[in-house]
Structure 1
Amino acid sequence: MNAMAIVGAWGFTQWADQLPNNPFLAVGWWVTCATAAILGSLAIAVLLTLSHKVH
């Protein structure tokens, strides 16, 4: 499983916990986690593509 996805899921639960307390912090958490998840997915896709080209 993708470590970035795990971090993103953990961050999302943190965001859900923080939402009632601080909406601005919650939005920042959400953006950070979404970005991490997207970048992680892209990195995996690129690595898979490169590994197929090498082999």
Structure 2
Amino acid sequence: MQNIDELHVTGTGTVQEQFIKYLYETPQYKNVETKEGTSNKMSDESLIEYAVTQFN
């Protein structure tokens, strides 16, 4: 990932937190705005629908 300003992270709560912390500690991504998504398991179709609503 290069030249990103915003990142939406979805997954289990622990994974989300660890990944966002990793990004914050990485100089390249320190100023990236992160948003957390649902931690509920979704079907592929539901995930696509969720992503579309987040980025429209």
TM-score over 0.5 (shorter chain): no
Give the TM-score of the pair, scaled to structure 2.
Answer: 0.35
Give the TM-score of the pair, scaled to structure 1.
Answer: 0.36
Q: Which has the higher strand share?
A: 2
Larger Rg: 1
